[in-house]
Amino acid sequence: MMFWRSVVGKLWITILLLVSFVLFILTVTLLQFFENYHINETRKDMIHTAEKIARVLKEHPGNEEALALEIAWELIDDNEKVTVIKDQNTYLYSPSSDETTHVPISFYTTDKDLSLVFERDKTVDMITSLPNDTNEAGSTQYLMIGVPLHQQEKENGAVFIYQSLAVMEETTKLTSKFILLAAGVAIILTTIFAFFLLTRITSPLRKMREAAFEVARGKFDTKVPILTHDEIGELATAFNQMGRQLKFNMNALSQEKEQLTSILSSMADGVITFNRDGTILITNPPAEIFLRNWYYEQGLASENSDAVPSEVMELFLLAVNTEKEQVGEISAQGRTWVIIVSPLYNKRFIRGAVAVVRDMTEERKLDKMREDFIANVSHELRTPISLLQGYSEAIVDEIAQTDEEKKEMAKVIYDESLRMGRLVNELLDLARMQAGHTLLNLESVELKPYINRVIRKFQGLTKEKGIELSVKLETEERFFRMDPDRIEQVLTNLIDNAIRHVPDSASVEIIGRTDERGLYIEVSDQGSGIPEEDLPFLFERFYKGDKSRTRGVSGTGLGLAIAKNIIDAHRGNISVKSKIGHGTTFSFFIPRNID
Ligand SMILES: Nc1ncnc2c1ncn2[C@@H]1O[C@H](COP(=O)(O)OP(=O)(O)OP(=O)(O)O)[C@@H](O)[C@H]1O
Ligand SMILES: [Mg+2]
């Protein structure tokens, strides 16, 4: 900082100017006073001397005059000169005055002021230069006094006495020199003291400035030392107090902010805050997932992109313009989000909007499943019902001629009604099991005869297609505890599926084994296999590999869903491995000690 612009500089200059001004005025007045005083004193002195001379001359007339003059010359100083005018023609000069400084008599008699001595008979004085003074550098000033002289039988005379003022000027010069010296010393002293005092005042101020910068940088602990108990000390106290208060407030603020942040980041729903012009201000992790998915879908680089999804922007604009909450739905990357945008108020004005983003994929999936379920059930029922209608109509209308034909039609009606009955029973079973109402009739089952009995059911079918169905039981154990009817349902479905999906004269293998954890059963075939993308959905209701929904190779699509529910009720698990063109292996596991 420039010295002149600092407080010290300004105060210093001010004090200096003030002191100089006072000293100047003082000097001028003092000089004036001294000069006047000196002149007055000298004048009194000279008048006195002149009067004395006049008296002496008056009291010693005639032949005593020589003595009187001697006395008179004794009375005057060295630098005083005297002219005594007795009458128009008789006059004397004091011996100290040499020829060159003799003032001609005419000067006295013609001068307007001096001649008053003769005319009015009174004492006169004046400051003047001498007529015969031929000094080059301006004539010297003289103080001249005239006193009337009354001698007996003579005309009015006068005694003039004069003295050079050069001596006095010398004194004045000396005095002013002295005063100037004193002023110089005073200024120097003032400077030193002012500097000392001001530095003491400003050094705590400077410290406070540094501390203020520290506080601005966020170091609220910065303290200013309190050195004095004056206003500056009080300022330091106030400053420290301000720092403490600031720290407290900042802590409170940051705590509040942290709390908000943690609430936001632990929310399950996404939150995006916008300012008035639609720029994203804050997002939380679920909202970031949403944005990332959207960016990916749009082929944008997700990092350092601040683009707002266009649908969200539309909702935002609507919300801001109508000042009403807006709801919308966006899908990206196979997920569905519902977005609710509400305006954000700053007292009475809208300062932006907040969007809540909720991942609704699961809900939408469930909705879809429900719709599919109804569609599937209706579809599965429609075919047998239309068959029933058609054939029964034919019987009623007596379209069938022979008993043979009628029997055949009645057989179809019977078969289809059985199928419908089975479907409805299966659905009921499934619903009951999914509601958790499966009651297991657990009993010890002798494994070998049990499995053989299940297999025997398929003998007709296998023989027809020339399929070899083999059983391998790799266990010493004879009995295992389970619900035989339910497990038979599972086995039947798995074997039925396998037989239906293998070409003629292929083989289907059933392998059973136990270990300390429980029973493992595998049903594997060398059939067509299941496409990889179908595998995750295989155990869902109505899921069928071939989408043509025709009765033929495929059934209703409930078999595996029921199987999974039964195995779940046994607290086991069921899984599938399949390779297209090579075959499929279903395996399930039932643990020991189910209850
Ligand atoms: N061993 C297998 N080989 C090839 N595909 C199979 C096999 N097992 C099941 N699938 C596929 O899985 C689908 C579902 O089987 P699931 O047993 O659940 O129903 P379904 O056999 O069609 O009907 P349901 O068993 O109710 O009569 C079948 O439609 C079929 O496409
Ligand atoms: Mg099946």
Q: What is the pLDDT of residues 512-539, one digit of tens each?
A: 999 999 999 999 999 889 988 888 888 9
Spelled out in words, what is the top-level CATH class assigned to the domain 267-359?
alpha beta
Place of tokens 């649908």: 311
pLDDT above 80 (res 288) = yes
Spell out the alpha helix ranges (H) of 60-95. 65-75
Quick one: which ligand is closest to 528's CA? Answer: 1
User: How far is residue 413's CA from residue 420's CA, in Å, rounded to a whole number?
Assistant: 10
Q: What is the mean pLDDT of residues 8-19?
A: 83
What pLDDT shows up at residue 298? 83
How many residues does this entry show for the chain?
A: 595
**Which of 555, 573, 553 has its CA nearest to residue 563?**
573
DSSP summary character for residue 133: -
pLDDT above 90 (res 591) = yes
Cα of 479 vs centre of ligand 1, distance in Å, is 30
Quick check: CB of 538 below 6 Å from ligand 1?
yes
Whose CA is closest to atom 7 on ligand 1? 497
**Residue 426 Cα: closest atom of ligand 1:** 26
| Residue pair 72/53 in contact by the 8 Å Cβ criterion | yes
Cα of 553 vs centre of ligand 2, distance in Å, is 9
Report the residue among 553, 560, 566, 579 best suited for mutation to probe ligand 1: largest number of ligand atoms under 8 A from its CB. 560
- The total of other beta-carbon atoms located within 10 Å of residue 533's CB is 7
Quick check: CB of 376 below 6 Å from ligand 1?
no
| Residue pair 576/543 in contact by the 8 Å Cβ criterion | no
- The total of other beta-carbon atoms located within 10 Å of residue 503's CB is 12
User: What strand order describes the sheet that includes 280-283?
Assistant: 280-283, 270-275, 349-359, 335-346, 326-332
What pLDDT shows up at residue 550? 43
Instruction: Please indicate whether the domains covering 10-171 and 267-359 agree at the CATH topology level.
Output: yes
Quick check: CB of 546 below 6 Å from ligand 1?
yes
pTM above 0.75, yes or no: no
- For 376, the token pair is 């599937």
pLDDT above 90 (res 588) = yes
Quick check: CB of 559 below 6 Å from ligand 1?
yes
pLDDT above 70 (res 552) = no
**Which of 105, 142, 137 has its CA nearest to residue 125?**
142
- For 16, the token pair is 């200096």
**Which of 309, 353, 313, 314 has its CA nearest to residue 332?**
309
- For 445, the token pair is 């089952």
Cα of 366 vs centre of ligand 1, distance in Å, is 22
What pLDDT shows up at residue 553? 47
Quick check: CB of 565 below 6 Å from ligand 1?
no
Q: Please give all residues whose CB falls under 5 A of ion ligand 2, grouped by chain where several chains appear.
A: 493, 497, 555, 559
User: What strand order describes the sheet that includes 91-93?
Assistant: 91-93, 80-85, 157-164, 142-149, 124-128
Contacts of 50 (CB under 8 A, 6+ apart): 82, 123, 145, 146, 147, 159, 160, 161
Quick one: which ligand is closest to 531's CA? Answer: 1
Helix-helix angle 559-569:484-501, to 10 degrees: 150
Domain ranges of the chain: 10-171, 225-266, 267-359, 364-434, 443-591
- Calculate the average pLDDT of the chain: 86
Fold (CATH) for 443-591: Heat Shock Protein 90 (3.30.565)
Whose CA is closest to atom 5 on ligand 1? 530
User: How far is residue 78's CA from residue 83's CA, in Å, rounded to a whole number?
Assistant: 14
Whose CA is closest to atom 8 on ligand 1? 497
Fold (CATH) for 364-434: Helix Hairpins (1.10.287)
Q: What is the mean pLDDT of residues 6-28?
A: 83
Whose CA is closest to atom 30 on ligand 1? 545
Q: What is the mean pLDDT of residues 232-260?
A: 92
Q: What homologous superfamily is domain 10-171 in, according to CATH?
A: PAS domain (3.30.450.20)
* Confidence band of 272 (pLDDT split at 50, 70, 90): very high
User: How far is residue 545's CA from residue 529's CA, in Å, rounded to a whole number?
Assistant: 10
What pLDDT shows up at residue 449? 94
